[in-house]
Amino acid sequence: MTYFHHRKLPDYSTLLAGRLSPDEIGFQSDRLQIWYNHTTEAWVDPLPHAHRESDECFIILQGSVIVEVEGERFTIGPREFCCFPIGIYHQIVEVHPPVETLMLRAPSVSDKVYQSESS
């Protein structure tokens, strides 16, 4: 039988699927990366970034985030999602907690590149 992975979502932020699972909650996958973010703390991306080999999607379950995409800001609220295709520079510039989100990327590769301040 093929291995089936089933867990409850934790009360903390963690990697649910990816190349290296940090705890027993996560599922090892070379094709899919899922970050679960569950926090009462605000955070932001340090710089705009893009992915060279993967598409990325944010699903907002609770709270809201403001993303900046190529100089334009968008508010993504509960039960909304946004997707960033390969090569599109984006940045989370505000997080309004409590926040609960899922971030999905496929394939699960280390392909993040930061936009230089001179770009």
Over the stretch 97-112, which tens digit does the pLDDT of each residue have?
999 999 999 999 999 9
Residue 69 is part of which domain span?
36-107
Q: What is the CATH number of the domain that holds 66?
A: 2.60.120.10
Region 76-88: mean pLDDT is: 97
Q: How many CB atoms lie within 10 A of CB 32?
A: 16
Task: Please tell me the total count of domains within the chain.
Answer: 1
CB 108 within 8 Å of CB 55: no
Over the stretch 9-31, which tens digit does the pLDDT of each residue have?
999 999 999 998 778 899 999 99
Name the average pLDDT for the chain.
Answer: 92
CB 100 within 8 Å of CB 63: yes
Share of the chain above pLDDT 70, in %: 96
Cα–Cα distance, 33 to 18 (Å, whole number): 4
47 in a domain, yes or no?
yes
